[in-house]
Structure 1
Amino acid sequence: MASRETTVSDGSNQPEAPPPPPAVEPSKYSKTTALKSILNRDDKGLGLVGRRVVVGGWVNSRKERAESDAPSQLPPPRAAAQDVSCYDVLMQRVPFLRPIARILVGVIGAQPEKPAASPAKDGPFTVYLRINDGSCSSNLQVVLDSSMSLPGQVITVGTSILAQGVLQKILAPKKHVVELMVEKILHVGVVDVKSYPLTKPRISLVSLRDHPHLRPRSIAVTQSNSLALFQIGSVTRICSNLIYTGHEFFHKKGFIHVHTPIITSMNAGNHGKMFQVTTLLSNSGGKDKSAAVHEHEGVDLEAFRAAIREKSKRIDELRRSDSNKEALSAAELDLQRSKELVLMLEKQQQSTAPSAGELDFSNDFFSRPVYLSASAGLHLESYACALSSVYTIGPVFQTDESKSAEKLAEMWMIEAELAFTELQDVMNCAEDLVQSLCYSLMETAGNDLKCVSKQIEKNCIKRLKSIVSGSFARITYSEALNILNQVKDKSFLSKVGWGNTLSEEQESYLADEFYKRPVIVYEYPKEVKPFYVRVSDNGRTVSAFDIIAPKVGVMVRGSQKEERMDVIVKRIQELGLPHEQYEWYIDLRKHGSVKHSGFSLDIEKMVMTATGLADVKDAVPFPRVRGHAKL
């Protein structure tokens, strides 16, 4: 009878070589495995130990150790290390004991250990990288041998790498429990170290605004010159979560998404000056004063200014060096002439540039004056009066002269319009949306919220919980004035009185100090709200509301719209608005009018609420404010 046992032909008792570790499935549209699928698991990746993966990311930190000092992370060879002592194990697993051991070894005359921080340049060493691919707030430690670095491809902070390796458990885990032992480097995107602006371990938020194209890579950032560090990526992922949740909320409620224009021919309310869109200033067809502008279109003033800056640097170098006085005098004379030329060209262009009042808009691209939209609300009304409940998510533009930390020229809004509704209905909808956004963040953005709560503001999660846990306070504008007039322990810079807009300071008092939760203020005076808000029966107030949130102020503005044609026409006349621009808007009241209401939610304010950021310019990827528009 044949034996069931399989014998090895050479008589050896050594087992066969184990099969290669199984690979982790990559992303569907990439060859890499997203770091969040490894590090955001409940076991922090321990269940994937021994699995082969391909990961990509950008290097946030790099450390080196001489190979003799690097603790081995791989399993020991099968010929077990019989001579490994307790001393050796301690030296590997407890690094802080090494300096003490060196002192003791030196005392008894033994050969001292090589310092771990300064490996010999001609000897092998182990490189420890921390990389991040943007999918989560956690970094993955990547371990590779120095021999893997390719010539001319030095891996430094900012470098992008694509690497294949095996996940293994860290012997002395702290925050992270797994790392990648690299088998092969598939790609290295090198960095110009001399010009890379993120090499410093801590960079202020103000400095980062000058590099918006690189800002999302930043990990160590100081806020308000404190030691609070955080990831721009966490803020971006939180914002993305809010956008997705907004779409999901309206979809579940039966709303229809509508794309509204960002170029409009009318002013949607009390927005003052608007950004005008025109091609006439750059393409005037050679008429009148505009013809003079064409004569100078070939002159690049910015190039002249750049040349002046270079000449100034050259003069500074000549002054510091031992150059002869003749060369310095010639350079200074050349600089003076260049400055005079630029000044002359600037004055000439300013004197010949046509003003908006002199432009013939019949020759413009749209054949009429048009502007960047300050609100999508009026356009949404036309679709609400046919589809009942609609919404949009997009940018709006306001020429706010304020330099407040909460003001942007380009903001992103969630705006909704509901047919067959009145003020209380739309207030309920807006409150539900805010609570839904906060609840979703707590449920799905836990790691990023923990990151910002530790590194920006410790109360941000508590604030989100308080918004979700109970209903918002609701008071009329008159009741808000009564509360503010009874404050005795502080004085407000702005006057508290009927007909005045509530100041940011007063709004902050109501939400942060008096109610300590979001508060809805409604029934405002007619004079402080736009023409389209429904006038109350008393003739003094209108059906408008604001949701004031702790820390950020007004987050939502909304109102019931005026559905009565005679009233809306009267309001347009009272405010001196051009009737012809609003004929289509009046048509909505003339043909099948219904009661309808809407609101807009400021997404950047919502991000500030969730993260604790103090300046709105850090809550948006590419901030546009007065005097600043990078990229």
Structure 2
Amino acid sequence: MASEEANVVAKHPIEHLIDQSKYSKRVLMKTILGRSDRGLGLVGKRIIIGGWVKLSKERGGNIPPGATGRSTVTMAEDVTCWEIIESRIPHFLRSIVRVFIGDRGRPHGKPTDINIPAKNLPTVAYLLLNDGSCISSLQVVVHSSEAPISKISPIGTCILAEGVLKRPSVAGKQVIELEVEKILHVGTVDLAKYPLAKRRLPLEILRSYPHLRPRTTAVASVTRIRNALTHGTHTFFQNNGFLHVHMPVITSTDLTDRSDTFQATTLFNKAEKIEDSNVMNDHGAINIEVVRAAIKEKSNRVQELQRSNSDKEALLAALWDLQKTNELALQMEAREKSSPRTSFQVGKVDFSEDFFSRQVYLTASSQLHLECYACALGSVYTFGLTFRAEKSHSSKHLAESWMVEIDMVFADLEDLMNCAEDYLKFLCQQILENCSDDLQLDSKRIDKASIDCLGSITSSSFERITYTKAVELLNEVTDKEFQTKAKWGINLAEEHERYLADESYKKPVIIYDHPKEVRPFYARLNDDGTTVATMDIVVPKVGTLIRGSQREERLDVISRRIVECGLKQDQYEWYLDLRRHGSAGNSGFSFGFDHMVMFTAGLHDIRDAIPFPRTSGQLIC
């Protein structure tokens, strides 16, 4: 067999003039279809491609070269009678037929040769294959002599095939197609259970299948856009002298309201082990719940014997057994009441017994930790997960989200705003240049204005207004009634920010110098004593994408702010050390990466912007 395959390769060597995937020896479809001539210049080249069937058609087609009007079919090795019948049944009826017929009609044992009129069978399958490397699909022509048509044509089937590129034999939208000469792999699909067999499922339905939805054109397109944004992020910061630093996910610093944080603990595991160790009591009996269940069972036995009145000795024995079991239950209940209860039972947790011997959380922000490295290395950035336990079903909230955070030393608020504006413009330009096909698809199916929005960001200068001016502008609005009145001293609501970006200025707006009461303790206090050096960048249609601040470098001021905010200073002694030992004026921001994907792709729900969304009460895989 090995020598035979070697001869095939020797006679028909794979074309090496086309760039192959380095580790799989196949050719990515974007290498073919992404050319300016859409692959026409590659006609006659032999390649291996792999992908998933997006669409298929079956036709009688031309009889494969060398075949006669009648073809010999080998049962149980090539095409069985059942497969012949199956190939004549429309796709949507095959799963129903299988339910009633099952494997009947499928031959077992020694193969048998039969003659079948080739003209009565679908001899050619025209498959549109996509491998995820680009939005376009490649037409692949497979003759029944290479594989059973019924096995390769269902939507979702995975195929690895070798063949020659040629001009389409049938006129249509395709510029080039692959004439398959050898099928190397087929991953079949169970049509009765495959949820993506229907075309154009809404995004909200696809959320129920996060493990399969990347195979859809829309979600694959969003994923490529997300990849381009990731690449653009690293490119921008690396080109501007930033160092990438990994930050911890577990932290003892709680920067948010504790009701909105995920707690990390091993105490529940310990409690389970304690309970498991107390399963058997001193009498060798099982725990109290099991004893109570036994009492119920023994009582039923006693009642049954009393009704029959046939075996008095058995009744006496059952009564004695029931009495002893009741006594055991009373003893266990008394011991349970008198024994010390665990800290979980009384609602108090002794964190000194926990893994870290203290209370710790999943991080909601890496800003404080990042500052440690900025004070040693200069400009740094991190790209990682953050967690918020807010029980919200908002279309813009995730429990687990990706955040880009930066910190720059010797930089003030104006420097920070300039960096943030340049970063956003760079990302939008990168997407427009490198994801045009995906943007075109998203603009057709999701949001027609998405491309124009990206273009407007790259071409316009961001409006910069103080928080005080923003409140004044909102209070002057007469053509719209807000659900929450904008007044000085409160956080601006999303409806306020969106109005400023979408209606007032119709472009991104940077709002800066917020009241100190609504911003973190580490934001630098301004000379007026009431505002801090903070900034938010609000983008049309999405809202706030970036929040940042100039950090407070004065030890006495930040110590006072910690007290004002009701925080425990001992938790922040390590952070205060940065002020005690060679402090540097620095600034940083946090960038909601998933929100940027949502904005770029024109999505309406952030759950469609992330591969595996985690929200309150929803975690499928």
TM bin, normalised by shorter chain, reads: 0.7 to 0.9
> Any runs of at least 4 consecutive aligned residues in structure 1 with deviations exceeding 6 A, and if so which?
18-21, 289-295
Distance in 2, matches of 1:133 and 1:531, equals 49
Shift of 1:62: 1.4
Q: Does 1:244 align with 2:231?
A: yes
Shift of 1:616: 0.3
- When structure 1 is superposed on structure 2, of 19-28 and 411-420 the one drifting more is 19-28
Q: Does 1:627 align with 2:614?
A: no
Shift of 1:285: 7.1
Aligned to 2:167: 169
Shift of 1:387: 0.8
Name the aligned partner's letter for residue 441 of structure 1. I
Matches within 5 A, 1:417-566: 417-566=407-556
Contact 1:210 1:630 in 2 (8 A): yes
Shift of 1:363: 2.2
Aligned to 2:135: 137
Match among 31, 34, 39 for residue 45 of structure 1: 39
Contact 2:161 2:183 in 1 (8 A): yes
Contact 1:166 1:180 in 2 (8 A): yes
Aligned to 1:35: 29
Identity in percent:
51
Could you say what secondary structure the match of 1:284 adopts?
Answer: helix
Aligned to 1:26: 20
Aligned to 1:397: 387
Shift of 1:268: 2.4
Contact 1:281 1:353 in 2 (8 A): no
For the structure 1 residues 170 and 418, does the alpha-carbon distance in structure 2 shift closer, same or farther, using more than 3 Å as the test? same
Could you say what secondary structure the match of 2:373 adopts?
Answer: helix
Match among 233, 246, 255 for residue 268 of structure 1: 255
Name the aligned partner's letter for residue 547 of structure 2. R
Shift of 1:522: 0.4
For the structure 1 residues 20 and 30, does the alpha-carbon distance in structure 2 shift closer, same or farther, using more than 3 Å as the test? closer
Aligned to 1:253: 240
Contact 2:52 2:129 in 1 (8 A): yes
Distance in 1, matches of 2:259 and 2:422, equals 31
Match among 58, 62, 76 for residue 56 of structure 2: 62
- When structure 1 is superposed on structure 2, of 264-273 and 449-458 the one drifting more is 264-273
1:431-469 deviations in Å (ceiling 9; x for gaps) = 111111001111111221122122211211111110001
Contact 2:213 2:219 in 1 (8 A): yes
Could you say what secondary structure the match of 2:269 adopts?
Answer: coil
Match among 576, 580, 591 for residue 586 of structure 1: 576
Match among 157, 160, 166 for residue 159 of structure 1: 157
Q: Does 1:378 align with 2:365?
A: no
1:180-234 deviations in Å (ceiling 9; x for gaps) = 1111111001112211111112322222112111110023xxxxxxxxxxx2111
Shift of 1:272: 5.0
Contact 1:57 1:132 in 2 (8 A): yes
For the structure 1 residues 573 and 167, does the alpha-carbon distance in structure 2 shift closer, same or farther, using more than 3 Å as the test? same
Distance in 1, matches of 2:149 and 2:225, equals 40
Match among 283, 286, 289 for residue 270 of structure 2: 283
Matches within 5 A, 1:79-478: 122-150=120-148, 153-170=151-168, 175-219=173-217, 231-269=218-256, 272-284=259-271, 354=344, 357-478=347-468
Shift of 1:354: 2.0
Distance in 1, matches of 2:524 and 2:31, equals 51
Distance in 2, matches of 1:353 and 1:142, equals 65
Shift of 1:423: 0.5
Shift of 1:273: 2.6
Could you say what secondary structure the match of 1:170 adopts?
Answer: coil
Distance in 1, matches of 2:48 and 2:221, equals 23
1:546-570 deviations in Å (ceiling 9; x for gaps) = 0001111000000001111111111
Shift of 1:362: 2.1
Could you say what secondary structure the match of 1:599 adopts?
Answer: strand
Distance in 1, matches of 2:558 and 2:279, equals 43
1:39-73 deviations in Å (ceiling 9; x for gaps) = 111111111111111000011111111226x9x9x
Match among 545, 569, 587 for residue 597 of structure 1: 587
Distance in 2, matches of 1:412 and 1:19, equals 48
Name the aligned partner's letter for residue 274 of structure 1. T
For the structure 1 residues 25 and 522, does the alpha-carbon distance in structure 2 shift closer, same or farther, using more than 3 Å as the test? closer
Contact 1:524 1:543 in 2 (8 A): yes
Name the aligned partner's letter for residue 396 of structure 2. E
Distance in 1, matches of 2:172 and 2:245, equals 49
Aligned to 1:7: none
Distance in 1, matches of 2:152 and 2:555, equals 71
Shift of 1:506: 1.1
Contact 1:373 1:396 in 2 (8 A): yes
Distance in 1, matches of 2:14 and 2:204, equals 47
1:289-318 deviations in Å (ceiling 9; x for gaps) = 8977999x99xxxxxxxxxxxxxxxxxxxx
Distance in 2, matches of 1:598 and 1:382, equals 12
- When structure 1 is superposed on structure 2, of 194-203 and 415-424 the one drifting more is 194-203
Distance in 1, matches of 2:371 and 2:160, equals 50
Contact 2:125 2:153 in 1 (8 A): no
Name the aligned partner's letter for residue 226 of structure 2. C
For the structure 1 residues 367 and 218, does the alpha-carbon distance in structure 2 shift closer, same or farther, using more than 3 Å as the test? same
Shift of 1:153: 4.1
Could you say what secondary structure the match of 2:481 adopts?
Answer: coil
TM-score by length of 1: 0.75
For the structure 1 residues 503 and 619, does the alpha-carbon distance in structure 2 shift closer, same or farther, using more than 3 Å as the test? same
Distance in 1, matches of 2:442 and 2:279, equals 51
For the structure 1 residues 352 and 206, does the alpha-carbon distance in structure 2 shift closer, same or farther, using more than 3 Å as the test? farther
Contact 2:58 2:122 in 1 (8 A): no
Name the aligned partner's letter for residue 615 of structure 1. D
Contact 1:290 1:353 in 2 (8 A): no
Contact 1:170 1:179 in 2 (8 A): yes
Shift of 1:609: 1.4
Name the aligned partner's letter for residue 244 of structure 1. H
Could you say what secondary structure the match of 2:567 adopts?
Answer: coil
**Structure 1 unaligned spans of 5+:** 1-17, 75-118, 220-230, 299-350
Distance in 1, matches of 2:549 and 2:276, equals 44
1:530-584 deviations in Å (ceiling 9; x for gaps) = 1111111111111111000111100000000111111111111112111111010
1:64-94 deviations in Å (ceiling 9; x for gaps) = 11226x9x9x9xxxxxxxxxxxxxxxxxxxx
Shift of 1:519: 0.5
Shift of 1:352: 8.6
Equivalent residues, number: 502
For the structure 1 residues 252 and 270, does the alpha-carbon distance in structure 2 shift closer, same or farther, using more than 3 Å as the test? farther
Q: Does 1:575 align with 2:565?
A: yes
Distance in 2, matches of 1:375 and 1:158, equals 40
Shift of 1:28: 1.3
For the structure 1 residues 356 and 554, does the alpha-carbon distance in structure 2 shift closer, same or farther, using more than 3 Å as the test? farther
Contact 1:155 1:190 in 2 (8 A): no
